[in-house]
């Protein structure tokens, strides 16, 4: 075999040896990259206080930082007081209902764990900042009043998106988050007479919740 033919043979052998490794390295990963856009629909249960929640969120990969990616996003949620309201109502003459609406901006850092979730999971930590509006209705035998309040809200969380395969655009996931907001109600008496106390005028939300969601990576 001549030298040129031998050289071509060695190059071909090298390419055949390296091709599987290159294909594996270029295989798409679930880690969010700059330009990726994720849309999620979620349902959540809050432990503190006991309530249920539904919402939607969107995250856009912005810039690569180290081995991960920073993303910016937004979410909207509605939270309905459940057992935290229903159980006390059973043992009181007052009936209390409460619903909270919130909108948050999201700053997240997405990452993977080498040799663990490299191919199927996108993990992230998130900071939340926004506003919460709360509405309450209290009904008693002698009076009834309604209240509305609005205040800044903040939170932190940790979550993950699980992709069934590296090529899938659809994913499922979960997010644990701690959020806080506090403010004063604007109270309106709609029946009877009642002197409002400081405790009735003030509201505080310190909630630890776990959300589960379905999502799609649009880009």
How far apart are the two ends of the chain, measured CA to CA in Å? 51
Residue 3 binned pLDDT confidence (cut-offs 50, 70, 90): low
72 lies in some domain: yes
Instruction: Answer yes or no: is 5 within a domain.
Output: no
* Domain presence at residue 4: no
Reported residue count of the chain is: 219
**Which pLDDT band, with edges at 50, 70 and 90, does 90 fall under?**
confident
User: Could you tell me the CATH number of the domain that includes residue 139?
Assistant: 2.40.160.20
Claim: this prediction has a pTM higher than 0.75: yes
- pLDDT 10s digits, 157-185: 999 999 988 788 999 999 999 999 999 99
Is residue 115 assigned to a domain?
yes
- Residue 160 in any domain: the answer is yes
Confidence tier at 24 by pLDDT (50, 70, 90):
very low
Which of the four pLDDT bands, split at 50, 70 and 90, describes residue 15?
very low
Number of domains in the chain: 1
In a domain, 70, yes or no: yes
Q: Is residue 18 part of a domain?
A: no
Is residue 141 a part of any domain in this protein?
Answer: yes
Burial class (CB in 10 A: 0-12, 13-18, 19+), 187: middle
Q: In this prediction, what percent of the chain has a pLDDT beyond 70?
A: 83
Look at residue 69 in the predicted model and tell me its pLDDT.
95
Question: The domain containing residue 168 runs over which residues?
Answer: 31-217
């Amino acid at each position: 075999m001549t030298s040129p033919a031998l050289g071509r043979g060695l190059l071909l052998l090298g390419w055949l040896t390296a091709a599987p490794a290159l294909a594996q390295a270029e295989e798409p990963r679930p880690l969010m990259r700059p330009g990726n856009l994720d849309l999620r629909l979620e349902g959540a249960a809050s432990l503190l206080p006991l309530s249920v929640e539904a919402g939607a969120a969107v995250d856009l990969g912005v810039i690569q930082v180290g081995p991960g990616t920073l993303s910016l996003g937004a979410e909207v949620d509605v939270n309905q007081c459940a057992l935290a309201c229903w159980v006390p109502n059973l043992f009181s003459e007052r009936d209390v209902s409460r619903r909270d609406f919130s909108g948050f901006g999201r700053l997240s850092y997405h990452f993977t764990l080498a040799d663990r979730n490299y191919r199927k999971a996108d993990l992230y930590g998130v900071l939340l900042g926004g506003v919460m509006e709360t509405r309450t209705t209290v009904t008693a035998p002698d009076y009834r009043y309604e209240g509305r309040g609005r205040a800044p809200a903040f939170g932190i969380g940790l979550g993950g998106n699980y992709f069934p395969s590296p090529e899938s655009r659809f994913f499922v996931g979960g997010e644990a988050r701690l959020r806080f907001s506090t403010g004063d109600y604007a109270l309106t008496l709609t029946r009877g007479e009642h002197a409002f106390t400081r405790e009735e005028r003030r509201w505080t939300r310190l909630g630890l919740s776990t959300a589960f969601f379905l999502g799609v990576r649009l880009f």
